[in-house]
Structure 1
Amino acid sequence: MDLKLKPSFFFSSFILIFLLINSFDSGSASTPKCISTERQALLTFKQSLTDLSGRLSSWSGQDCCSWTGVLCDARTGHVVNIDLRNPSQAVNSDEYKRGCLRGKINQSLTRLKFLSYLDLSSNDFNGLVIPEFIGHIVTLRYLNLSSSSFSGEVPASLGSLSKLEFLDLYAESFSDSGPFALRASDLKWLPSSLTYLNMGYVNLSGAGETWLQDFTRLTKLKELHLFNCELKNLPLSLSSSANLKLLEVLDLSENSLSSPIPSWLFDLTSLRKLFLRWDFLQGSIPSGFKNLKLLETLDLSNNLGLTGEVPPVLGELPQLKYLDLSANELNGQIHGFLDAFSKNKYNSLVFLDVSSNKIAGTLPESLGALRNLQILDLSSNSFTGSIPSSIGNMLSLKKLDLSFNAMNGNIPETLGKLAELVDLDLMANTWQGVLLKSHFANLRSLKSLRLTTEPNRSLVFKVPSTWVPPFKLELINIENCRIGPKFPMWLQVQTELNSVTLRNTGIADTIPPTWFSNIASDVTYLILANNRIKGTLPQSLAFPKLNTLDLSSNSFQGPFPLWTTNATELRLYENNFSGPLPLNINVLMPRMEKLYLFHNSFTGPIPSSLCEVSGLQILSLRNNRFSGSFPNCWHRSFMLYGIDVSENSLSGEIPASLGALPSLSVLLLNQNALQGRIPDTLQNCSGLTNIDLGGNKLSGKVPSWLSKLSSLFMLRLQSNSLDGQIPDTLCSVPNLHILDLSGNKVSGPVPKCISNLTAIARGTTNFEVFQNLVFIVTRSRKYQEIVNSINLSGNNLSGEIPEEILDLSYLRILNLSRNSMAGRIPGGISKLGRLETLDLSRNMLSGAIPESLAGISSLQKLNLSYNKLEGRIPQLLKFDDASVYIGNELLCGKPLPKKCPKDVNRRML
């Protein structure tokens, strides 16, 4: 066949061939071939590493350019990037720990002659010193060794990296083997090419006082992070601060700079972000901040020493978006600062935190000019008055925190306009007035509501009973605000709650069982205390996330709730619950640490399964109707430190196994029907601070081993059948403040060694610590008023009142009544200068009432009746009740009707 081809055909074919060739070339350029020497260098590097997660499993075969974390130049095929950062950033998670590379860094990396990027961050090199040879990879532009558990001195060889622009040595370690310390004693090696430097957690304390001057050589630097570097001083002047004119980010946080804010900072006019938190800065905030026109973020929080007012110049900064001045000593008012912002045409502030200062006064209407603000935290100050109605203009607001102030005004209805508001915290103020539906009508984004005021409930919710709000709360905390007596519909429809506190809100209704079941799956805190809620609780619910359950001080009735929960604290006290406790309480509540059931009507035995709740710390069952023996199954694995089963009907002996509880501190078994002897095993509980076994049927002697309990603060064994003498060893209990042996059969004299009770003699013990322990267990201040007291009344004591008792100069209560004590009242009794109560009645004391008794100004109660006292009642005594002295036939003078002989003779004359 004779074909005739046109010239255009040849031209088109040429173009096609050209395009095909170029497509092959470009294809080969996008998938570069690995250079064998570099491949071998990478394999050698891999062999030195331990890779638990197998994330380097792709490092095999011929083409190293396709391996995970390796990038080659598209044209030459040389390895230019190695990125082996931990793929998980969830620090301390199992995934993070598995993802950590370990082992050593092999010198073979130096054979990668074109390597410009090396990232080994967030691994675990277990205290390995940063290899000096890294400084020989002179092609590096990016080096990230952060959070990889290196230690030792940062090698000065890194200064040879003349092309290095990015260096991250952030040294916070998350290794299980740590902590590890990375340090730099000299900073003169820093490459001048750096634009980014992070040496957070690197110890620079050895870098001398010129540490800051060393950074001024880095004239290209844009970011400098020196977080927590143990820097001790901050120069107030810096001659070459102009060299840092490109610096945009400066972080010197968490050092001990202890100085005023230096003036050279205000020469860094390129600054966008400045972090100086936790630096112990002092003095006022300078007006020089007005020079930093580009500043977007300023964090001066937690310095504790910054004083004065918030300066208005901060409100004039045109680019400022983030301002944190919290936890300082700032004072005065905030009007000038907020007024300046209201006049700022840019007004770009998004975050404002001035919490935990001493700022006072009212909030001005200019607050509403912060139209772009999303976070506003003014908590823990001294603000007063009302929330300004202009709050309704802040339509971008997502969090408003005014908690812990002295605000005592109204909450404006304009608050209800904040449709973006997620978190509203108004707790711990003294709000008043009425909250209407309009206060909440448009808060469709609200997830967290905290609102508390003083206990007088001057703040009242007044919304329609059928109102269904637009929000679904996850957290609610309302205290001392009246929302009852009904359990309102707006609360009933809150079914996504994970934290509930409705304390003292006046609810006197029953709560629908469906509400409990609706929140059961997610709720962690459920606190409905100090209301008048009635009815029974639903049985057999599962609360898998519940941590704390507090239904105390209500009118709940019926049986103990059979709720399956991991709660650690259960408070059902001061209700009308009845019936027995479940025998399998250890299965229902296996993680329980604190169980408060006092002041109810529970009956039956205390379940021995409580011995299987190994985390139990407090068992408080006071004032119920429990009967039977107290469980005798305790073992050393327990952390139980508080037991209060007083005021029940328990019988049998005190279980010896209590002595196996090494942490036991408070033991209150009083007002039961326990019998037998006090078990010697209790001496093994060396941490016992408070023992009350009174009102039982115990027998035997007062134990001599009590002297081994050096922390004992209170010993009450009253109203039993103990006999024998008071052991001298009791005098050597150094911290004893309350001693009550009354109503027993103890005989013999009061030991003269009683002056050795040093806590009462010298007031040396901080008894508030011990009182707090009792309060934590009992939630009662019952023992507070009998501190520094000795009560030995109602026994068979004989002999004289020992003079040594006068050495107990901090004694407040002394009761020796209803004994057989004889002799005189010691003449120096005024040495007991803090005595408030003295009862010596119904003994055989003789002689005159000492004149010095009138010198005890603190004395409020006195009883000397039914003794053999004689003579005139001292006239200076302020007790004019004859019952104080009755039964002493030889006493005379006021207030007794019997006149003294001299008075009779004077009248006859």
Structure 2
Amino acid sequence: MTLSLDNVGISDTTPNDFWNSCSNIRELYFPNNGICGQIPKNIGELLPKLSYLDFSSNSDWWNSLFYWNVKRIGNSFLQNNHLSGELPPHWKNLSSLSLLDISNNSISGKFPSSMQYLSSLRWLSLSQNHLEGELPSFFRYCTGLRSLDLGENKLFGNLSAWIGESLSSLVRLRLRSNSFEGSIPSQLCLLSGLQILDLADNYLSGGIPPCLGNLSTKTRDEFFLTEVEMLVVMKGKEYLHYLNLFLVYSLDLSNNNLSGEIPDSITSLSKFINMNLSVNHLNGKIPENIGNMHDLESLDLSRNELSGPFPENLSALNFLSHLNLSFNNLSGQVPYEKQLQTLNDPSIYEGNYLLCGPPLPNKCPGSETDPRGSPGEGNGEDDRDRKGILDSPISFYISLAIGFIVGFWGVCGTLIVKTSWRLAYFRSFDHMKDKIYVFIMVKLVPFLRRIKLERR
């Protein structure tokens, strides 16, 4: 039996008699209301069959779910409330819990050790809270985790190798906006099914592991459709993905202290639609094979120390709708063809003082014409032929003279030599003159008179 009160405008506490009448409830939906107050501590006895709980987006409903003896509960949604205080210590009785979302609340303190008993947990989201401390190592026992979102908290310490070694089923790992430091462990590359890796806004240092190009190489055997959601920063904005989350492939390492070159192997992430490596200390060139990321929609490499020219195949990114390469040391002419022609905002390239060509106002050295080219420019042999003629004025005038002589004397010379052709030529003019006269007198003059009379 299911009880659903989704967005019905309840804005009060729930009476005890209500809970006494729900003994057969298996699924309880109370999202998007204004319910406040306490949930009865003996609700585990009142709702012995409860397996699904959704109290999301209510006003002030701090719950005692964790003190209940509700061993059957599998999914719990408590996000977007005003829950405060520390996480309760009693989690051992919730061994059947597979999905827990307490994001966007005001929970503080550290992780209780009893959370290690959540052996069935597949999705955990505690983002946008005030949790602190290091990432507890007991999460390695939650080997079935598919998604771990602890972003926007006050966590610190190093990223441990056990994340990649023990959580081999991870599809999404989001730890952005914390205070993690140290290098990115290469063990993360063991997560061959990872679709979202978001480590942005931390204090990570060192280089980008080249083996990150191995992410998402594992064949997905299921879409992992759930009713959960996740925030993904893309195209300079924050998007909340819900039912389409299984389609999102994203790598975000922005706003850290990463250094070294961008490994060329990272371009093997051909399924990824978003890559953000901005605000670091990355140097060297943009990978030559960046065009291999053919599904890429958003690329942000701004505010680094990248140098050199643009890769030739950058314009092959047919789905690219957001590009930011500003404030680097890139040089040469901006590629202006194919998809890049639609990205004509000069701020994309701002701060690269050695760049030239459209959409930038400064022309490239030695270029007297618009680099975008006139009709026919860039067409291979035609361009080379035209360039050869213009570079040799003598050849041009000789060709012009020959063309005039052949054309003029080929027609006029024949008429002078052959009398029959000359007579036929002038007769045709006489016939044409007669036809024009007949047309004017018979067709055009009556037509003009009729228009004049209609206007009167």
**TM-score w.r.t. structure 2 length?**
0.73
The equivalent residue for 2:308 is 847
Q: 1:892 aligned to 2:349?
A: no
Are residues 839 and 855 of structure 1, via their aligned partners in 2, closer, same or farther at CA, if it must alter by over 3 Å?
A: same
Superposed, 1:368-767 pairs within 5 Å as: 547-562=1-16, 563-564=19-20, 565-566=22-23, 567-604=25-62, 606-610=64-68, 612-635=69-92, 638-707=95-164, 708-757=166-215, 759=216, 761=217, 764-766=219-221
Are residues 902 and 603 of structure 1, via their aligned partners in 2, closer, same or farther at CA, if it must alter by over 3 Å?
A: farther
Q: CA deviation at 1:656?
A: 2.3
Are residues 604 and 575 of structure 1, via their aligned partners in 2, closer, same or farther at CA, if it must alter by over 3 Å?
A: closer
The equivalent residue for 2:257 is 796
The equivalent residue for 2:405 is none
Kept in 2: contact 1:606–1:626 (CA 8 A): no
Paired with 1:640 and 1:656, the residues of 2 have a C-alpha distance of 16
In structure 2, stretches of 5+ residues that fail to align are 231-239, 372-390, 392-456
The equivalent residue for 1:536 is none
Q: CA deviation at 1:655?
A: 2.2
Q: In the alignment, which of 225, 228, 232 is matched to residue 774 of structure 1?
A: 228
Paired with 2:246 and 2:334, the residues of 1 have a C-alpha distance of 29
Paired with 2:182 and 2:247, the residues of 1 have a C-alpha distance of 25
Kept in 2: contact 1:579–1:601 (CA 8 A): no
Kept in 2: contact 1:786–1:813 (CA 8 A): no
Q: CA deviation at 1:582?
A: 3.3
Q: CA deviation at 1:902?
A: 2.5
Kept in 2: contact 1:833–1:857 (CA 8 A): yes
Paired with 1:640 and 1:601, the residues of 2 have a C-alpha distance of 24
What is the identity, as a one-letter code, of the residue corresponding to 1:765?
R
Deviations 1:821-861 (A, max 9, x none): 11100111111111111111111111112221100112121
In structure 1, stretches of 5+ residues that fail to align are 1-546
Q: CA deviation at 1:754?
A: 1.1
Deviations 1:253-305 (A, max 9, x none): xxxxxxxxxxxxxxxxxxxxxxxxxxxxxxxxxxxxxxxxxxxxxxxxxxxxx
Q: 1:860 aligned to 2:321?
A: yes
What is the identity, as a one-letter code, of the residue corresponding to 2:121?
L
Deviations 1:164-187 (A, max 9, x none): xxxxxxxxxxxxxxxxxxxxxxxx
Superposed, 1:807-818 pairs within 5 Å as: 807-818=268-279
Are residues 868 and 569 of structure 1, via their aligned partners in 2, closer, same or farther at CA, if it must alter by over 3 Å?
A: same
Q: Which has the higher contact order (CA 8 A, sep 6+)?
A: 2
The equivalent residue for 2:237 is none
Q: CA deviation at 1:629?
A: 1.0
Superposed, 1:313-324 pairs within 5 Å as: none
What is the identity, as a one-letter code, of the residue corresponding to 2:5?
L
Q: 1:826 aligned to 2:280?
A: no
Q: 1:787 aligned to 2:244?
A: no
Kept in 2: contact 1:585–1:609 (CA 8 A): no
The equivalent residue for 1:806 is 267
What is the identity, as a one-letter code, of the residue corresponding to 2:188?
L
Q: CA deviation at 1:864?
A: 0.8
The equivalent residue for 2:432 is none
Kept in 1: contact 2:227–2:243 (CA 8 A): no
What is the identity, as a one-letter code, of the residue corresponding to 1:869?
L
CA RMSD of aligned residues (A): 2.3
Q: In the alignment, which of 288, 297, 304 is matched to residue 836 of structure 1?
A: 297
Which secondary structure does the structure 2 equivalent of 1:897 belong to?
A: coil
**Rg larger for:** 1
Are residues 632 and 780 of structure 1, via their aligned partners in 2, closer, same or farther at CA, if it must alter by over 3 Å?
A: farther
Deviations 1:560-589 (A, max 9, x none): 453122211110001122233333332332
Which secondary structure does the structure 2 equivalent of 1:555 belong to?
A: coil
Q: CA deviation at 1:812?
A: 1.5
Are residues 553 and 766 of structure 1, via their aligned partners in 2, closer, same or farther at CA, if it must alter by over 3 Å?
A: farther
**TM-score w.r.t. structure 1 length?**
0.38
Q: CA deviation at 1:591?
A: 2.5
Are residues 554 and 882 of structure 1, via their aligned partners in 2, closer, same or farther at CA, if it must alter by over 3 Å?
A: farther
Kept in 1: contact 2:66–2:91 (CA 8 A): no
Could you tell me the percent identity over the aligned residues?
41
Kept in 2: contact 1:557–1:575 (CA 8 A): yes
Paired with 1:783 and 1:714, the residues of 2 have a C-alpha distance of 14
Are residues 802 and 598 of structure 1, via their aligned partners in 2, closer, same or farther at CA, if it must alter by over 3 Å?
A: same
Deviations 1:235-268 (A, max 9, x none): xxxxxxxxxxxxxxxxxxxxxxxxxxxxxxxxxx
Kept in 2: contact 1:581–1:602 (CA 8 A): no
Are residues 609 and 868 of structure 1, via their aligned partners in 2, closer, same or farther at CA, if it must alter by over 3 Å?
A: same
The equivalent residue for 2:424 is none
The equivalent residue for 2:378 is none
Paired with 2:314 and 2:369, the residues of 1 have a C-alpha distance of 27
Paired with 2:50 and 2:246, the residues of 1 have a C-alpha distance of 32
Paired with 2:136 and 2:15, the residues of 1 have a C-alpha distance of 35
Paired with 2:151 and 2:301, the residues of 1 have a C-alpha distance of 21
Kept in 2: contact 1:865–1:883 (CA 8 A): yes
Paired with 1:650 and 1:881, the residues of 2 have a C-alpha distance of 42
The equivalent residue for 2:344 is 880
What is the identity, as a one-letter code, of the residue corresponding to 2:251?
I
Deviations 1:670-710 (A, max 9, x none): 00000001111111011000110000000111121112112
Paired with 1:671 and 1:873, the residues of 2 have a C-alpha distance of 40
Which secondary structure does the structure 2 equivalent of 1:901 belong to?
A: coil
Which secondary structure does the structure 2 equivalent of 1:884 belong to?
A: helix
Kept in 2: contact 1:656–1:682 (CA 8 A): no
Kept in 1: contact 2:299–2:322 (CA 8 A): yes
Deviations 1:105-159 (A, max 9, x none): xxxxxxxxxxxxxxxxxxxxxxxxxxxxxxxxxxxxxxxxxxxxxxxxxxxxxxx
Paired with 2:45 and 2:270, the residues of 1 have a C-alpha distance of 52
Q: CA deviation at 1:605?
A: 5.8
Are residues 782 and 859 of structure 1, via their aligned partners in 2, closer, same or farther at CA, if it must alter by over 3 Å?
A: same
Paired with 2:48 and 2:36, the residues of 1 have a C-alpha distance of 22
What is the identity, as a one-letter code, of the residue corresponding to 1:804?
S
Which secondary structure does the structure 1 equivalent of 2:306 belong to?
A: strand
Are residues 841 and 775 of structure 1, via their aligned partners in 2, closer, same or farther at CA, if it must alter by over 3 Å?
A: closer
